[in-house]
Structure 1
Amino acid sequence: MRIKFSFLFLFFLCFFLSKNVVSQDIDPATVDVGALSDDQIQRIITEMDSRGIPEQEAMALAKARGMSDDQILQLQQRIQEYKLAGGGSAQIGDLPEPKVFAEGEVSKKEVIESTVVEEKRLFGYSFFNTDKLTFEPNATAPIPSSYIIGLRDVLIIDVWGNSQMNYQLTVDQNGNVSIPEIGQVMIGGMTFEDAEIKIKSKLNRIYADLSSDNPKTFASVSIAQIRAVSVNVIGEASSPGTYIVPGTASVFSALYLAGGPSENGSFRDIKLIRDEQVIQNIDIYEYLIKGKAKNNVTLRDGDIIIIEPYRQRIIIEGQFKRTGLFETKKGETVTDVVEYAGGFNENAYTHRLELYRKNGRDQEFIDVLEDNYSKIELANGDSIVAGKVLNRFQNIVAITGAVYRPGNYEITEGLTLSKLIENADGLREDAFLERGVITRLAKDFTLTSISFDVADVVNGVIDFDIQKDDNISISSIHDLREFRTVEIYGEVKEPGPFNYKEGMTLSDIVYESGGFLESASEAYIEVARRLGKEEEATLTDKVAQVYQKQISRDLKLLGNDGDFELQPFDKIFIRQLPGFAKQSVVTLSGEIAYSGQYALTTHKDRVSDLIARCGGFSANAYPKGAMLTRQIEKDTKNVMLKNELISRSTDVKSTSLDFEVVGISLDEIMKNPGGKDDVFLLDGDEIFVPRKSQVVKVTGEVLNPISSTYTKGRKLKKYVSGAGGFAVQAKKNKVYVVYPNGTASDTKSFLGIRKYPKMEPGAEVIVPTRAPRNAATVGAWVGILTSVATLGLTISNIVK
């Protein structure tokens, strides 16, 4: 009781917040309910919700403290109005928290998230549990003529014409509205249409002209504010409870708010109870399957919706448009559930269904044939499965090969092989007429082969009846022989294989390959030909016949060897002219008189010949440092072989350079032209004559890599010392020098004495890195010591 009186204190405290008065001694009878703000109404609702006190009990406490019945009625109406505007929820009696649904603004409360898979498979479950579909009444829509007038409905009566008047009337608890100068008019429980007629008839008492034949005064009746009604959804609902909805709401509106039937609720047997009488039975499948909403009646205050537990459910699987759990009524048959499932899909075998039934002890299987669909009644727990059609055809035959329209054809009555060939637009000109094959599937599914003479069938000498699944094959003459080609190699624009054609000549194949190259020798052409059948019949060493031919370069039809007729699989070789050579170009750059590209005049042009043609060296040239680089021909086989050899050695690394350095000494060459150092030049060679360098470069494992001024006679170690000396990881016995002309010289050692390479201007000293040593492990040292001890012991024994 202390909680209730504490709540009542806070309840009345909210009333006086607008007056800034906080007192427990204020008389509740003096409270002006109409002056309360929406914020104060919200605080009252919040207090009731948080303390769990029903509204009716709170109103009883308020009445006990002195509030009048009119004040309490007005307060209840303010709370309902606030809720209809989307402002909160209220509780009635001891039922769970009711849900408010009004003005088209209140969204449906989410149903329980942990829905099991079976619920989601239940047909109709998602109907009441989706945000894509609602049954919220449209508050702005015209009031239907069948709307029942009830308590707290607000009516507006407009009179215009010769007389003008406006009335706003509220239906009281007795169902009356009080019209000034007329009095009480009883309209509670009447339809809106009947109430309008009655009100207009009463208005005739003071507006006589209203019902005359030629009226000058007019009246209309409308509802300004519909009342809220309270309905209870009980039984197997997802969220049973009391729901406050507008007076225009329907049964589906309340079911939607309650989340529809639960996993055990019935979609086929929902009862609407009014005044303790069942006034409507609702079958939701009628709406879902047939779109009939005649049972979706308008609710009234105090209505009760009972969702009964389901009685029969079956499972539909297989080739139906809808599958899952479906609820059935007693007496419904397989035909009914096929309709509920939307019928069969395109892959369904419709002549028979599989029915699995639980009989209370075990299960039984029932074959449901198409003729019995309407006779087999369903039982709770039945499972119906529709199978797939077989992947086979009843009336198909195929013809392939040398006909104009190969493919599948329908078997008609009396279809023969000759008629089938005619249906395929007949034989092609390249058809092989000696033999065709019918591949037939026997009754035991073994394949049989039936041969026929194609020419005899076409000419009507013989014919065959065609059966289902026959496959007729008529080959082309080209299918029965090796694909025939000729190949041309050598000095033509497009060498390679070409299709053989009857009557093809040597000139023809040269023409098709793009003609001769400038390097081609038309006087030395070879044709290699397979041996004839007689020659191949005996074992000899001979493998081909070779013909040497000469044809005109312009390929004229002169009747000479150019008209030599080719045979399938001939190979033609066009040789290169013996003296043909591509122009070779070398490049000369650096400190010379005329740098640039030079053409070689003979195969024996040497370096000295090219220097003589370029006008000699400039004043700053350093011939001793001249470098010759030569292009490397990337032969695929050589590259593969080189990579294979490199992969076998872990100490050798591959390079991707496309040139190599040829070591020359240009100063020696010019002193002795034509000597052993004066190499022959090749196409693509490049010679660079540098300016004389004044420095020596030291790199690698030194403390300070640097370039030092060259001093004649200075030793290599002096240059290394100038670079800070050897680093810790320096491999001193492998120091080498790279000279300006690309050659290199390494360090020589004899009895521990190192002889380093001599130095020249522009040289580079390279100090390599010593490979890291693997430190001996404890186990290795133990092994060494053990071996030494064993050896010592052995020697001692020998001495003794």
Structure 2
Amino acid sequence: MLQLKKPSNLVLKTIKSRHSFMSAVNLRSISLLMIALWSLNSFAQIPGIPANMSFPTSVGRPTTTSTGTKNSSSRKVTEIAAEKNEVDSLKRKKELALNEVDSNIVNLRKKIFGYSIFNNSKITFDSYARMATPKNYVLGPDDEIIIDINGYSESHATLPVSPDGNIKVDRVGNIFVSGLTIEEAKKRIVSRLSQIYVGLKASGGAPANTTATISLGNIRTIRVTVIGEVIAPGTYAVPSLAKVFNVLYQAGGPNENGTFREIKVIRGKKLVARVDLYDLLTTGNLRQDIALQDQDIIQVTPYKSRIEIVGKVKKPAIFEVLPGENLEMIINDYAGGFLPEAYKGVLKVTRFTDKERKLIDLSGDILASFFPKSGDFITIDQILFNRYENAINLKGAIFRPGRYSLNDNPTLTKLIKRADGFKEDAFLDRITLVRLKDDLTKENIAINYRDILSGVIPDVTLKREDEITVYSGIEMMETYTVRIQGEINLIAREKLAERFASGSTSVGALPSNTETPSVGTFPYVKNMTVEDLIVKAGGLKESAATGRVEVIRRKKNIWKDDPSQITPTIGEKFQFGINPDLSISPSASKFILEPFDEVFVRSSPNYERQQFVSIEGQVIFPGVYALERKDEKLYDVVKRAGGLNAQAYPAGATLIRKVRLTDQEVERKSKQLQELNDNNTDATLRVEPVKQVYEESIGIDLVDVLSDESSKSNLLLQDGDIIRIPKEPQTVRMQGEILYPTSTRFIGGASFKHYISEAGGFTSLSARKRSYVIYANGSVDRTRKLLGIINIYPKVNPGAEIVVPRINQKQLVTQQLLSTISTITASLSGITTIVLLIRTIQ
């Protein structure tokens, strides 16, 4: 069971200070409140709770705890639960006041100088537990005094100040300290203690052997009221060490209408201090931050005079000014001074009059004598960044181009010397000077610098904003080049690097005999020979014909006002041989190139790269074969492959050849296919995009070739050809406009229509006369007309594919119309017959 102790002086004082509250409740409520307070005071006596545990007590900040041990430096603020609830309520009120303002007021507050210091959560004025006790601190009830006796005698005591203002010292009795400063209290306590501790005083010439240290322990709570133009006005319970800035920070500081310059502290109906927050904001000095006492009132009245400064100052803001403060002091002390780019010649002041606004152009040299009025809006512009008062610009073929000072370089020769002189390619015969005239138009002045150096003309005196350009002789010349093409390694080397990078080792990756000749363009250099140019181009290919090199040179026709000298010749040709190893030797050509020469290295007529063909399918040795001769034919390669095996079907053999079209050929072929489709009224063709590189199947008669080597079917082979010899197929495929596209078994002697029947027959949209057969060897045969009436269908062989196109939409409409007309005609004929019979009977 909880053991209740006699209430402490703190509890008794709290009950007395709440007399008005207690009178409003019944006796039972008072008893419950006393029990709760006594329980709180006895909480540390409960088993299992540490004896040094305490509860948070400081206002709005984490509290420190007092262990009660000797020489304890921690300190806490004594308060009761009711006061804490009241402080929490004020905090919530402050938060609501900050959250409920509209955006215009928020923006206005941000511009007010000094407002941010109270609106910054990282700034705090609370340091009660760690600050030294001020010497002028006035003691009162609920303060604690710590007494330490050291030396000949040892003693320690923590003594609260009672509501009567006394501390009770063991063996000394009550000592009255309320209302005394901490220094005055120290003297009184030591005086009383010396009565029982004789060693505290020196006697008989002997020094004192005992010392007494008096310090302040836990401090009391005082109540301070903040009224006027603040964010959250109200009464705040704060530690007795609190000062003006502590309480203003708790209240959120002055609002958008509150003064920062004349904050009043009222004590006992008397004005005890006027606080100017600008002193703290500008100097960081807290000298006006006076200590507060219980029942003090902080009054923040509305401001009297404000101005706004914008533009090129370090701290643009809305400033509150006092009488006698001039604009120079405001800018330097409050706004932080001008920025380096500020234009100080004229400041723009917008001022309110009784009827309207007016604009004042304020000269920068009278700021000390200008006293702004409330509402003034002062704008400080920046200097002209794109203009210099003494700049000249030098550019072109000089070593150090850029802007220079006119004062240090008044003439052209001094300017050139300051820029470390001309580059080697400088064109000195015509230097351009562009000058800005008085009417802001520009004029061009041409200068021959060589004449200045020789004294023919005087040195040029420069002016502000002059722009001098020195041209490069090389840049003024046409860009000289030479070009070489043909059997050089320029492009071949690049392709080889790409091939190795991609890891390609296939036959198709090998270079073909139709490669585009390599072309290289190089800057012209004096005394360059043909061999020099070939070396720059990567050397010669193996295929180069070194005995026949051609150079084509431009014909330089100089016009001399004589039309008879105009000739049809546009170039000169030079032909000679060169040393194959390109060495510098007596056998070298010694041919010196000139600008824009075109060099051609021809290919040797007897040189050929290896060419390859592939044979696949039913031969004894299928694979890749290199052509031995330029005239090697189909029969030769089949024989080299060992001939056909027993499963081969030579009638179905095909030749696959790669076709490469130029861009013009692709465009022309696409146009032809589109026109063919547009002009075909019988059947619809599906136009496929034309590929630039594709494989083409060529129908060959291998049976004829193998039976007669001299047959016209024995084709010459090309690099990359693929010969495919399949097994004998056993099926025929039908597709297109038939009822059931399918494949069926080949039957020897069966007709075209038999296979159409196997696929369900023609449909109503079948273009029968356009039907055709694709044979196994890639050849095609079409349907023909006998006497323009009867369809003669092609023969069907094993592996063939029958294709039936679809009727064109226009032809379909025509057929439907003819059918309708035929039906109507037949109907009319029948009706006429019936009418005639009726008339005959009658």
TM-score when normalising by structure 2: 0.76
Shift of 1:718: 6.6
Cα distance in 1 for partners of 2:777, 2:136 equals: 113
Question: CA 1:595–1:270 in structure 2 vs 1: closer, same or farther (change >3 Å)?
Answer: same
Do structure 1's residue 333 and structure 2's residue 326 form an aligned pair? Answer: yes
8 Å Cα contact 1:331-1:378 kept in structure 2: no
Question: CA 1:529–1:286 in structure 2 vs 1: closer, same or farther (change >3 Å)?
Answer: same
SS at match of 2:711: coil
Question: CA 1:179–1:67 in structure 2 vs 1: closer, same or farther (change >3 Å)?
Answer: farther
Q: AA paired with 1:524?
A: R
Q: 2:178 aligns with which of 178, 184, 188?
A: 188
Query: What is the aligned partner in structure 2 of residue 543 from structure 1?
Result: 570
Shift of 1:761: 3.9
Query: What is the aligned partner in structure 1 of residue 410 from structure 2?
Result: 415
8 Å Cα contact 1:505-1:564 kept in structure 2: yes
Query: What is the aligned partner in structure 2 of residue 796 from structure 1?
Result: none
8 Å Cα contact 1:91-1:97 kept in structure 2: no
8 Å Cα contact 1:59-1:72 kept in structure 2: no
Shift of 1:585: 1.0
Shift of 1:385: 0.9
Query: What is the aligned partner in structure 2 of residue 367 from structure 1?
Result: 361
8 Å Cα contact 1:417-1:457 kept in structure 2: no
Do structure 1's residue 481 and structure 2's residue 455 form an aligned pair? Answer: no
Judge which range, 142-151 or 254-263, deviates more.
Answer: 142-151
Query: What is the aligned partner in structure 1 of residue 466 from structure 2?
Result: 470
Do structure 1's residue 491 and structure 2's residue 487 form an aligned pair? Answer: yes
Cα distance in 2 for partners of 1:225, 1:216 equals: 29
User: Counterparts in 2 of 1:566-645, with a 5 A limit?
Assistant: 566-633=593-660, 635-639=662-666, 641-642=668-669
8 Å Cα contact 2:5-2:38 kept in structure 1: no
Cα distance in 2 for partners of 1:681, 1:607 equals: 6
Shift of 1:616: 0.5
Shift of 1:325: 2.3
Question: CA 1:765–1:459 in structure 2 vs 1: closer, same or farther (change >3 Å)?
Answer: same
Shift of 1:771: 9.7
8 Å Cα contact 1:90-1:98 kept in structure 2: no
Query: What is the aligned partner in structure 2 of residue 525 from structure 1?
Result: 549
SS at match of 1:264: coil
Cα distance in 1 for partners of 2:147, 2:807 equals: 112
Shift of 1:759: 4.5
Query: What is the aligned partner in structure 2 of residue 25 from structure 1?
Result: none
Cα distance in 2 for partners of 1:256, 1:338 equals: 27
SS at match of 2:549: strand
Query: What is the aligned partner in structure 1 of residue 527 from structure 2?
Result: 503
Shift of 1:638: 3.4
SS at match of 2:703: helix
Query: What is the aligned partner in structure 2 of residue 255 from structure 1?
Result: 248
Q: 2:398 aligns with which of 399, 403, 409?
A: 403
8 Å Cα contact 1:176-1:186 kept in structure 2: yes
Question: CA 1:406–1:165 in structure 2 vs 1: closer, same or farther (change >3 Å)?
Answer: closer
Query: What is the aligned partner in structure 1 of residue 840 from structure 2?
Result: none
Q: AA paired with 1:499?
A: P
Shift of 1:372: 0.9
SS at match of 1:305: strand
Question: CA 1:380–1:615 in structure 2 vs 1: closer, same or farther (change >3 Å)?
Answer: same
8 Å Cα contact 2:94-2:252 kept in structure 1: no
Q: 2:343 aligns with which of 332, 342, 349?
A: 349
Query: What is the aligned partner in structure 1 of residue 289 from structure 2?
Result: 296
Shift of 1:236: 0.5
Do structure 1's residue 448 and structure 2's residue 443 form an aligned pair? Answer: yes
In structure 2, runs of 5+ residues without a counterpart are 42-53, 63-78, 491-518, 679-685, 829-842
1:432-469 CA-partner distances (Å, limit 9, x unpaired): 23222222222222222222222222344431222222
Question: CA 1:72–1:191 in structure 2 vs 1: closer, same or farther (change >3 Å)?
Answer: farther
Shift of 1:683: 0.9
Query: What is the aligned partner in structure 2 of residue 22 from structure 1?
Result: none
Cα distance in 1 for partners of 2:150, 2:805 equals: 116
Shift of 1:530: 2.2
In structure 1, runs of 5+ residues without a counterpart are 1-17, 20-29, 45-53, 793-800
C-alpha RMSD of matched pairs (Å): 4.5
1:53-102 CA-partner distances (Å, limit 9, x unpaired): x9775333247779599959968998x9765387999778999975379x
Cα distance in 2 for partners of 1:746, 1:343 equals: 99
8 Å Cα contact 1:520-1:577 kept in structure 2: yes
SS at match of 1:219: strand
Cα distance in 2 for partners of 1:107, 1:720 equals: 96
Cα distance in 2 for partners of 1:225, 1:273 equals: 26
Q: AA paired with 1:653?
A: E
8 Å Cα contact 2:481-2:523 kept in structure 1: yes
Query: What is the aligned partner in structure 1 of residue 58 from structure 2?
Result: 84
User: Counterparts in 2 of 1:58-73, with a 5 A limit?
Assistant: 58-62=21-25, 67=30
Query: What is the aligned partner in structure 2 of residue 431 from structure 1?
Result: 426
8 Å Cα contact 1:128-1:260 kept in structure 2: yes
Q: AA paired with 2:226?
A: V
1:346-397 CA-partner distances (Å, limit 9, x unpaired): 3321232111111221112112222111111111111111112112112222
Cα distance in 2 for partners of 1:110, 1:703 equals: 86
SS at match of 1:355: strand
1:667-717 CA-partner distances (Å, limit 9, x unpaired): 333234343333321111112222333445567788987665544455677
8 Å Cα contact 1:154-1:169 kept in structure 2: yes
Cα distance in 2 for partners of 1:180, 1:418 equals: 101
Query: What is the aligned partner in structure 1 of residue 307 from structure 2?
Result: 314
Question: CA 1:519–1:188 in structure 2 vs 1: closer, same or farther (change >3 Å)?
Answer: same
Cα distance in 2 for partners of 1:393, 1:592 equals: 91
8 Å Cα contact 1:664-1:741 kept in structure 2: yes
Question: CA 1:514–1:300 in structure 2 vs 1: closer, same or farther (change >3 Å)?
Answer: same
1:231-278 CA-partner distances (Å, limit 9, x unpaired): 111101111112222222222222222111111112222112222222
Do structure 1's residue 265 and structure 2's residue 228 form an aligned pair? Answer: no
8 Å Cα contact 2:772-2:794 kept in structure 1: yes
Question: CA 1:647–1:748 in structure 2 vs 1: closer, same or farther (change >3 Å)?
Answer: closer
Cα distance in 1 for partners of 2:275, 2:185 equals: 29
Query: What is the aligned partner in structure 2 of residue 134 from structure 1?
Result: 124
Q: Tell me the percent identity.
A: 34
Judge which range, 194-203 or 109-118, deviates more.
Answer: 109-118
Query: What is the aligned partner in structure 1 of residue 276 from structure 2?
Result: 283
8 Å Cα contact 1:729-1:769 kept in structure 2: no
Cα distance in 2 for partners of 1:207, 1:96 equals: 45
1:557-604 CA-partner distances (Å, limit 9, x unpaired): 567782233222222222222333332111112221122221223333
Cα distance in 1 for partners of 2:254, 2:669 equals: 81
Query: What is the aligned partner in structure 1 of residue 237 from structure 2?
Result: 244
Question: CA 1:687–1:216 in structure 2 vs 1: closer, same or farther (change >3 Å)?
Answer: farther
Do structure 1's residue 358 and structure 2's residue 352 form an aligned pair? Answer: yes
Q: AA paired with 2:365?
A: D
SS at match of 1:605: coil
Cα distance in 1 for partners of 2:736, 2:792 equals: 19
8 Å Cα contact 1:89-1:98 kept in structure 2: no
8 Å Cα contact 1:590-1:690 kept in structure 2: yes
Cα distance in 2 for partners of 1:610, 1:482 equals: 58
Shift of 1:297: 2.5
1:477-518 CA-partner distances (Å, limit 9, x unpaired): 213321211222222223322222223333332333233222
SS at match of 2:278: helix
Cα distance in 1 for partners of 2:485, 2:339 equals: 63
Query: What is the aligned partner in structure 2 of residue 14 from structure 1?
Result: none
Query: What is the aligned partner in structure 2 of residue 389 from structure 1?
Result: 383
